[in-house]
Structure 1
C-alpha cells in the first residue's frame, strides 16, 4: 500500500491552487493585450514564464542548497505544477541535455510532443466514436 503523507498532500494542493489561479490571471491578461490574435498568447505567456521561474528557482535551490522537502514540493510540484507542467517538462529535458544525455533529451522532447499530440487526437476520436 502507498504511504501517503497528509502534510505533503496539503502542501502540494495549496501550492497548486496558487499556481492554477496565477495561470488563469496571467493567461487572461496576456490574451487581453492581443485580443484578436489566432495564437494562444495566454498559454504561450504562462509556459514561458513557468520555464523562466523553474530555471531560476532550480538554480537558486541548487546554489543555496535549500533542501526542505515540503518547501520544494510546495514550489515545484504545487505552484509550478499548477501553473504549468510545461516548465517541468522543459526543465527535465534541459537537465538531461546538461548532464550530457543529448539523445535522451531529444528522445524526451520528441516522445512527449509527438505522443502528446497523438493522444489529444485519440481523445477526440474516442468522443466521436462514442457520440
Structure 2
C-alpha cells in the first residue's frame, strides 16, 4: 500500500514539474517553434532517467519504495518518453529483431491507435477526418 502512495506522490511531483517545464519553455518556443515544452520535458526526462539508472546501478543508496516513487512516479509522470527510451537502451543487448519489434509496437502501433481514436471520436461526434 505504501508503494501506491509513494508512486502517487511522485506522480503529482512529476506532473507539476512537467507543467512548469512547459511554462518555462514558452519564451524559447516563441523564438524557435519546434522547441516545445514536450521537447524539453522529454530531453530532461531522458537525461534524468539515464543518470538515475546509473546511480541506482552503481550505489543503490535508497529503498525500493523511494526508487519506484522517483522512477515510476516522478519521471513516469514527467515524461513517459524517458521511460520508453530507457527501455530501448536496456534492450540494446537483445537481438535486433526484438529491439525493432519493441520500437514498432511503441511507435507505429501507438501512432496508429492515436489516429484510430481521433478518427473514431471525430466520426462519432459528427465531424469528418
Answer whether contact 1:96 1:102 (CA < 8 A) is retained. Answer: no
Of 48, 53, 67, 2:48 maps to 53
**Which runs of structure 2 are paired with 1:1-131 in the superposition (5 Å)?**
6-35=1-30, 37-39=32-34, 41-66=36-61, 68-97=63-92, 99-131=93-125
Following TM superposition, by how much is the alpha carbon of 1:40 offset from its aligned partner in structure 2, in angstroms? Answer: 5.3
CA root-mean-square deviation: 1.6
Residue 36 of structure 1 deviates from its aligned partner by 5.3
The 1-side partners of 2:95 and 2:67 are apart by: 25
Where in structure 1 do 4 or more consecutive aligned residues deviate above 4 Å? none
For 2:97 and 2:123, the matched residues in 1 are separated by: 37
> TM-score, normalised to structure 2's length?
0.89
- Could you tell me which runs of 5 or more consecutive residues in structure 2 were left unpaired when the two chains were aligned: none
Q: Give the paired residue count.
A: 125
